[in-house]
Amino acid sequence: MKQLFEFRNVFIPQIDEWKDTYEFFQFNDKYLYCSYIQGVFNLPDDSLLPYFNLSNKKSYNNMDIKCNFSKYFNYFLTFFDTQHELLDAYIKIKFKIDLKGSYYPLDEFYDDLFNILLTPTMLQKLAYMNQHNIFEVKSKKSYMHEGLVYQDHHVNLLYNISLIMKISIPLLVHYSFVKTDIVLNMTEFLLNYYNKVFNIFDINIKRKMTATVDNVVNSSLKTDLPMWNKANIRGINPSIHTLENLNDLISCVLPKLEYKNPGHILIYKSARNNLKNNITNPQFDYEYMKVGGSLKNNVNEFDKFEISVTSSSEAIYIYSLYNSEYVLSSLSSKFYIEERLIDHYYYELTKNGNNMINPFQERLIFNLFYKYYGECCSIKNSNSRDYIRLMLIAREMLRYEKLFLLAEVVSSKIISMSSRKDLNKKEKLLLESSEVYKNVMEKYNYDDRIITEVRSIIATTITSEFQIIDPDSDNYGDILTIVPDVIIYQILTYITLI
């Protein structure tokens, strides 16, 4: 350690008391900028080498987080890495990422992170910085199960891993921004690397975090069972939520730990807030509009499901695959869909780089099939062609019920998605005067959130723009005309079929 820290007699402040000098790193709107790289190599102003693009991961790209990262990097380089080993590693790996025409496979990139960035001396320096700033865990709740208590060495490890994640993030996110053909799923990409980081250490801190989330979920099951029953309608059960909650803690909370806020307490509070926002007090559960961003930022919902479920239980995953294939096969035997139609719809829905799956349309389609699957998870294991097949089967089912306008809505191409969430006075009158509406409200015990959700579905449908893409239709290519009183009746009838 002596050769690493020749300046040891120099006073080193705690990071929370230190004012950032911005000597090495600064942030702007999208980028982490390294002035050291610019100056040492005397690079021209338009050189991209000193810039790390963080826009691909929104939770790492807000100004508070970027300032936090910048301060930690500058503090580390000022007091603990005076040899600038971190910067040398950044230059080597960043150059390989940006080199045009070169193939930089994911496995090689991961290997470089561990061999060039996370060297033994780098890990030593990070550990020394952590030891200098870490606090003592002053209170441990004696009544808690031992598996839930964070001892000093657990908290120390949380912060150590957090520092490793911090210095890795600029390279990870920039790689995902440049290598869009390789990084198809941002969450999976990050979690794969973070799991490798956990394996550096002998203590299984991930198991401790899992126990924390399990405890939060089990406590909620005792007091919030009705809300869990409703969550099940959306394909969220305790196992699925535990995995998603844990993944959020790893990818979004752990890299952002600060010494001024005890990390183990933040982990627990974040797990509770996640459960609150997704289970016990959701802002109602769906946003029926396309959440923007480029294709780089869009992650297929089927991929998100596969990430969580495969890491949960291989048995559940195998059952999910089997159930998905079995039910789809059974539905296909009842509703024959020509392969040429699937090819055509795939082309139309993905033309010009569009996202094939619209969350609003997806929900309308999936709601019709949950009763056939027996639960709400297997359907999400479908691939792109299966999704289109389900779309066309849903169209045929709605046509059989004489809901012809809604059948076109679920099988159309959405040209523009409205953000309108409520009906005007005339539309509300049409809705509330319907006998079918009364039946729906009685079925759901006049739940205010259900009423709000029904209005939102209808308002979105009335004010959005849908294009007919059925090649066998005489109206192919036309914009669908939405008649309010007709669509209100058909959506209400559709809800009775769910």
pLDDT at residue number 229: 82
Average pLDDT of the chain to the nearest whole number: 83
pLDDT at residue number 75: 92
What b/e sequence results for 191-228 when a residue is b if at least 16 CB atoms lie within 10 Å of its CB, and e otherwise?
bebbeebbeeeeeebbebbbebbbbbbeebeeebeebb
Better-predicted residue by pLDDT, 467 or 68: 467
**3 state SS for the chain:** CCCCCCCCCCCCCCHHHCCCCCCCEEECCCEEEEHHHHHHCCCCCCCCCCEEECCCCHHHCCHHHHHHHHHHHHHHHHHCCCCCHHHHHHHHHHHHHHCCCCCCCHHHHHHHHHHHHCCHHHHHHHHHHHHHHCCCCCCCCCCCCHHHCCCHHHHHHHHHHHHHHHHHHHHHHHHHHHCCCCCCCHHHHHHHHHHHHHCCCCCCHHHHHHHHHHHHHHHHHHHCHHHHHHHHHCCCCHHHHHHHHHHHHHHHHHHHCCCCCCHHHHHHHHHHHHHHHHHHCCCCCCCCCCCCCCHHHCCCHHHHHHHHHHHHCHHHHHHHHHHHHHHHHHHHHHCCCCHHHHHHHHHHHHHHHCCCCCHHHHHHHHHCCHHHHCCCCHHHHCCHHHHHHHHHHHHHHHHHCCCHHHHHHHCCEEEECCCCCCCCHHHHHHHHCCHHHHHHHHHCCCCHHHHHHHHHHHHHHHHCEEECCCCCCCCCCCECCCCHHHHHHHHHHHHHHC
pLDDT band, residue 7 (cuts 50/70/90): very low
Residue 314 φ/ψ, nearest 5 degrees: -60, -35
pLDDT at residue number 17: 87
Taking residues 173-188, what's their average pLDDT? Answer: 90
Tens digit of each residue's pLDDT (9 = 90 or more) over 435-481: 899 888 887 777 777 888 889 899 999 999 999 999 999 999 999 99
Q: Look up the pTM and report it.
A: 0.56
The encoded tokens of residue 237 equal 């059960």
Q: What percent of the chain has pLDDT over 90?
A: 36
The encoded tokens of residue 349 equal 């829905």
24 pLDDT more than 90: no
- Among the listed ranges 44-48, 238-242, 305-309, 449-453, which one has the minimum average pLDDT value? 305-309
Tens digit of each residue's pLDDT (9 = 90 or more) over 480-489: 999 999 999 9
Highest mean pLDDT among 22-26, 27-31, 333-337, 352-356: 333-337
Q: What percent of the chain has pLDDT over 70?
A: 87
101 pLDDT more than 90: no
Residue-range domain boundaries for the chain:
15-280, 295-497
Give CA–CA dist 297/180, Å, rounded.
Answer: 10
Give CA–CA dist 372/382, Å, rounded.
Answer: 14
